[in-house]
Every structure is written in structure tokens, then in C-alpha cells.
Chains A and B, each alone.
Chain A
């Protein structure tokens, strides 16, 4: 009995001595993704999982869980309910900022959760089919001006990045064209390649192989600076159009009120990963922009990005609910 007590006090002391940084995962860690297997987010989560495994960044196995539904809403409310859970992280994207502003049912904001790290920024690229008459963004806008509402762009949902970007472009140039929603990325690219639409805004990873095969052409990149993977493609600003950039941001977020030691543990994990050559190679291979950000900087980003998206949504004429 006395021995047992001794052991108990000893272990309590040990736990105390290790202090605020004592948290280490003792079971499998779940990376939750709000989209189905094979989607951009899912590939991203699995890539992070792979890199962490290679550099032995975590002592436990990572599992990717797909919690789909309601355009991210199901995953967000699931995470919000898991207060105190220390082995669950979710991948956030711009949808996590947009949803609470436009959907009545999306009551969870990024501020309610525990943002841990922003890892990448994905630029947007404005593309047309290789045999299109438009060689520059200016050609496209010119044609859109002559035939208002006649040109077509394929894309995803109305609250997605491609549509908000379209609204910014239309406003900056005083033009107008159609946005045709399609369910899957495959359908959107196929519609461009088949000549059923005139333009598609995609991510470099999606575009580069099509460019290499001579199937599509870049009209402009939609970032403030030229992107390293497309050094010859002029930005929209260089072509004289003042359009703010909307990079897709991806990173990890934890349940509400995550304890400081747990949070700093995961920050350490992602910092270690960020510094590894495996991660840098991954960024290069998939044409991602490095977007590593943790701590106060990340909180500032969360607030600013929320406001930026708010302004864009308003401009895009999408109804805000709160």
C-alpha cells in the first residue's frame, strides 16, 4: 500500500516536473478532412501524414478521417463539439472562413477553434484552352466587354475561391461573364479542354501538367508576385489590373480551447516538419507556396483573412448571414 502511494506521488511529481511541455500523444492521431478521399484537401492531409512519417515527426500513427457533408459544415461542427480532445486536428481551408459568414447553420468560426499552423498558400491561375483566341488577360476581358454575359467560366460552388475571384476580376474590369458550377474538378477541367467553357481558374498543381502537354495556356497568375513554378507567366497586376490576390490557405486547426501545452506540442511538430528537406521538396513538387505561420502571426492572419473574405463576399453579392 505504502509502495503504491510512493509510486503514485512519484509519478505525479514526474508529470509535474515535466511541466507545461509534457504532452505527448499516447494513441493514434486523427487528421480530419472535410472533403472526400481524392479531393485536394484529402491529398494535402495525406501528404502531411506521409512527410511526418518519413521524418518521424510524431510518436504515434496518423489516420486521415474524411468527415464530409454540407460543404465543410459537418466537419466544423464535429470539431467544435470535441472540446478537450488532444488527438484530433483538422485541415482548414478558405471554406472554414467563408462558411460561418454565409450559412445560417455554420455557427462555428475559426476563432472558436484553435488554429495551430498555416502551412501552404495555393496561388490561382487563369487558364484557357491552348487554341483559344485569347493570349492575355486583356484579350479575355476585351472579349467579355464586347459580349457581356456570353463568355463562360467553369468552377465549383458559388462560395468557392474561383467564383469570388471572378467577381473581383469583373469588378476591376467592368465586365461580366457566366460562372458555371460543376460538381467535380474533373468535370471542370474536362469542360475547358472540351471547349464548352472559355476560361477556368485553377491551381498550379492542376495546371502544370496540362501546360506541359500543350493543352492549356495561362492568361495570368492571380498573385501579387510571379509564382516560381510559372516564371514566364505575367501576373494580373503586371498586365495592369488592380486585383487583390486570394490565395487558398491550408493548415491545421484543433478543437476549441486546446490547452497551451498541447497546442505548443503540435506547433513544435509542424515547425520541425517545415524545416525538413522532405517538406520543402513536397512544396516544390506540388507547386505550393510556402505559407508557414504559427502563434500570434497566425491569429492575426485568421482575423485579417476573415475580414478580407467578408469584403470579397459582399462585393460578390453573396448574402451574409452574420
Chain B
């Protein structure tokens, strides 16, 4: 009952005209920066920090959070249309989203992404509102060994991302793991594979590799194949530009799975939305009755990661609001804003300043509705982009990619790097190596290495710490199940064949 009173007060705050305006401004800006690759929500929130600190804390946090979850909506747009991941979490969306676009279903893909974002964004807020404190306590049970197990589980998703050849997928993942080692090693303060370049001290930025291997590799492959002037067919008629009832029905489990995975991964300070999107995609494929459709334009393959990506926002706000601990780059800036307002974020924030928490929660319900209304009508508009002939579209993709890469750190070096990874992506396509496992390895490699080394330092070198703690054990068992799953399936198939031949 108390929750309802609080929520009502929250809505009273969020529905004040000025707060509604800030909320709209936030989600609108968020959508825009989400669509532009490179410039992410954390950079935008940081840009607006001076403005926000002039506002009242409630209005400021409403606007900044709006940018945060708004960007998650926009991130899928370029992923689906151009195979350019707008932000880290939309790499997974590229896999099936771009295939859908290739099949002339760009509209339904964009539509389902918006719907998934809305559903999961709302679920994320509901969970934030109802179970934040106990979930935060649970998240604290995640120490290095648990993170190691989570990352192992994440890496096991490679089995599900593999196309025809498991060996090629594994090799691709190992290259990603190697790329993750570039830079200063935190534990010894020594440099690895930096070749005396200052630019490599912090490693290779994930956006550079993703845009190179996905977008630029794709453009190069298309140019050399030189098949047709127009990349895709775009059907006429509004009905074909929106998801149909069947699409939504096919996605309902994906929406639930993505919402839950996204929220719980989001709560963990050491994880993030990229892991959430990969895991939800893997879970979706493993549970699907038609796993063979994944990678060929399955609508669930868009719905699951997009859902995970959006409910992650609600999850990431849990440790920030209940413990004063930021779990991501963007929440770190929100924390900075709270400090700059003089609010002293910490475990007592909600108790001391209920208006901020409840105003934020209420504004997130409203903001998600705004985003749905804002994004759905854009779907048919964006889908028209694919009508452009190749000689216009390809240079546009290249331009967007290069600007996106440059905007990350404003370094020319990165544009050379993206050219290199574009070439790599092209070659990988030619010899049929999947690029997604490479990204998976790059994103998880760093986190996994840190976790395993931290664990071994905790146990003074005793490996058993990795599998004796109950939570870690559960996740490792799950990992094993994922890894041997395809083996069993293959054996079952083989048995069937033998039985048929004998019979």
C-alpha cells in the first residue's frame, strides 16, 4: 500500500508540466544519440551535466535518466538498417535485425525493437520499484568468483552464435579474447601489445571493432559482390512496414526473457548491457523450437536483446539508488550529479529524498510511453532509407561509421583502426568466420580475466575458489549445459540416422 502512496506522489511530481518537459527532452535527446553510433548515452549525459546541475535535482535526474533509457531505444535503428551497432548492446541486434532488413522486413524489425524496448523498459521500472533493496543485497553476493562464472556463462554463448562451423566461431572468439588483452594490465601495471602507441594504452575500443567488422566489412563485401544497385527490397504499404500479430506472438517469450535477464544483469556493478543482450539472445535460441531460424532473420533474435538492453537501465539504477554504488558509465555520471546537487548519495538516499526516487520512477513510466509514441511512427520513415541505391547508401554507411568511431574519443588513430577492422571483417566474411563471437570475446575477455585473477588473489592461488562457492557453481553448471547441448543434439541426430539406416 505504501508503494502506491509513494508512487502517487511520484506521479504528482513527474506530471508537473516542467518535469514532463524535461522528461520529454531527455528521451528525445536519448533517441537521437542512440541513433547516432559512437556518441553514447554516457557522453551525452556528461555533456548536459552542467545544465542539469542548474536545475532542481528531481528535474535534472528525470532528464538525465531519460537520455539514458532513450538512447537504448535508438541504438537498434542503425543496427537493423545499416548493420552499424549504434552502441555496445546492439551488436547482437545486428545479427538477426540486419538479416530481417535484408529479407525486406526492416519495418517489422524496427517495430519489434521499439515494442520490446517499451515492454522491457516498463518491466525494468516495475522491478526497480518493487524489489530494489533485496535485489541490491543479492547483487552484493557477487564477488570475483561469481563474476568469473557469469563471464564463463556469457562466453559459452559462442556455441549458440556459431553458424556452420563451431571451430571458426571459436577461433573468432579467441581473437576477440586476445584483443581484450591490449593495454595496461591493471594487476601489474605493465603494458601488453601496445607497440609503443599511447593510443593503445587503454586497449582497443569496443565500438571501433564492432563498427569495423560489422558495418564496414558488410559494405566492402557488398561492393565486391556487386550484385545489384539496391541493397534490399522494401515492400510498399504501411502494413508491411510494421510488425504483424504473428511477430509479436513469436516474441512474447523473448520479451519476458530479455526483460528479466536484462534487469538482473543490470543490477550487477561488474557486468553491463552487452552481456545482458548476448545472454538473452543465447537463452532465446537455446529455448527456441526453431533455433535454425536464428541468424537468418528471426524476430525473437531482435526482441530478446533489445528487451534485455532496455530493462538493464532499471537494473543499473538499483545499486545507485539503494547503495550509492554506480554500476555503469552512465550511472557514474548520475552519481556525480547527485553529489553536485549536494544530495550525498548512499544507502539512505531514498529515505532522505523520497521525492527524487519516486519522481524518477514515475517519470520512467511516462518516458517509456513517450518513447513508444515517438519511435513507432518513425519506423516506416526509417525503413524508407533502404530504398536508396547502393551508390548513395554505402558512402552514407561509411560516413556514419567513421564519424561514429571518431566521436568516441576524438582521435584520428581510431579511424585508421576502424579501417583495419573493416578489412578484417571483410576477410572474415569471405572465409565465413562469424564476427559476433569476436565481439563477445572482446567484451567479456577483459572482465573475465580480471575476475579470474581477482579470485585467485583472494584464494592465494587455490583454483577451487572458482567452483566451490554455491552461486558460482550453479552458473558453471549452466555453462557446461550450454556447452554440451549441441553435442547431445548432434548425437541424437546421428543415432536417428543410424536407426533409420538399420531400420
Contacts and interface: CB of A to CB of B under 8 A. Distances in A.
A47 B339 CA distance: 9
Given A184-B269, A190-B140, A209 B458 contact: no
A127 to B, nearest CB: 13
Interface in A4-22: none
Contacts of A173: none
Given A43-B336, A182-B450, A37 B323 contact: no
B335 A105 contact: no
A69 B143 contact: no
Instruction: Please indicate which of the listed interface residues B270, B335, B345 has the most CB atoms of chain A within 10 Å of its own CB.
Output: B270
Given A50-B340, A73-B198, A212-B346, A66 B458 contact: no
Contact of A158 (B189, B334, B409, B457): B189
A70 interface: yes
A184 B454 CA distance: 14
Interface stretch (A132-140, A149-157, A301-309): A149-157
A102 B190 CA distance: 10
A73 B347 contact: no
Q: What is the predominant secondary structure among interface residues of chain A facing chain B?
A: mixed
A285 B340 CA distance: 10
30 contacts: A37-B46, A37-B332, A37-B333, A38-B326, A38-B329, A38-B335, A43-B340, A46-B53, A46-B336, A50-B53, A66-B46, A69-B202, A70-B202, A105-B201, A158-B186, A180-B458, A181-B450, A181-B454, A183-B450, A185-B326, A186-B269, A187-B270, A190-B323, A190-B325, A191-B143, A209-B345, A209-B346, A215-B347, A286-B339, A318-B189
A205 B340 CA distance: 12
A186 B344 CA distance: 15
Nearest to B458: A152
B201 A74 contact: yes
B347 A209 contact: yes
Contacts of B199: 69
A291 interface: no
A314 interface: no
A39 B269 contact: no
A180 B187 CA distance: 8
A159 B339 contact: no
Given A186-B332, A286-B339, A194 B140 contact: yes
Contacts of B331: 38
A271 interface: no
B49 interface: yes
A256 B154 CA distance: 48
B460 interface: yes
A104 B326 CA distance: 33
A190 B46 contact: no
B327 interface: yes
Instruction: Please indicate which of the listed interface residues B199, B331, B460 has the most CB atoms of chain A within 10 Å of its own CB.
Output: B460
A168 interface: no
Given A46-B53, A70-B184, A158-B186, 14 more contacts: A37-B49, A38-B326, A50-B53, A64-B50, A69-B199, A69-B409, A158-B188, A184-B332, A190-B325, A194-B142, A196-B458, A210-B324, A213-B348, A286-B339
A193 B189 contact: no
B458 A178 contact: yes
Given A186-B319, A210-B324, A215-B347, A158 B340 contact: no
Contacts of A73: 198, 201
Nearest to B346: A209
B174 to A, nearest CB: 23
Interface in B35-89: 42-43, 45-46, 49-50, 53
A157 B189 contact: yes
Contacts of B327: 186
B491 to A, nearest CB: 40
A190 B147 CA distance: 13
B141 interface: yes
B450 A74 contact: no
Nearest to A213: B347
Interface string A241-252: 000000000000
Contacts of B345: 209
Contacts of A74: 198, 201
B132 to A, nearest CB: 15
A25 interface: no
A157 B187 CA distance: 7
Nearest to B460: A149
Contact of A70 (B42, B198, B326): B198
Contact of B46 (A38, A150, A182, A184): A38
B144 interface: yes
A70 B190 CA distance: 11
Contacts of A149: 460
B144 to A, nearest CB: 7
Interface in B177-199: 184, 186-189, 196, 198-199
A68 interface: yes
B336 A37 contact: yes
Contacts of A183: 186, 270, 450
Interface string A32-74: 0000111100110011011000000000000010101111011
Nearest to B323: A193
B403 interface: no
A182 B187 CA distance: 9
B187 A181 contact: yes
B342 interface: yes
B166 interface: no
Nearest to B324: A209
Nearest to B320: A186
Interface in B128-142: 139-142
A153 to B, nearest CB: 10
A179 B179 CA distance: 26
B141 A194 contact: yes
A105 B189 CA distance: 13
Interface string A281-322: 000011000000000000000000000000000000010000
Contacts of B269: 184, 186-187, 190
A77 interface: yes
Contacts of B142: 190, 194
Interface string B448-464: 00100010011010000
A152 B325 CA distance: 20
A102 B342 CA distance: 36
B198 A105 contact: yes
B414 to A, nearest CB: 12
Contact of A209 (B50, B334, B348): B348
Given A157-B189, A184-B326, A212-B348, A69 B201 contact: yes
B45 A209 contact: no
A39 B42 CA distance: 12
A193 B269 CA distance: 12
A70 B325 CA distance: 24
B475 to A, nearest CB: 16
B270 A77 contact: no
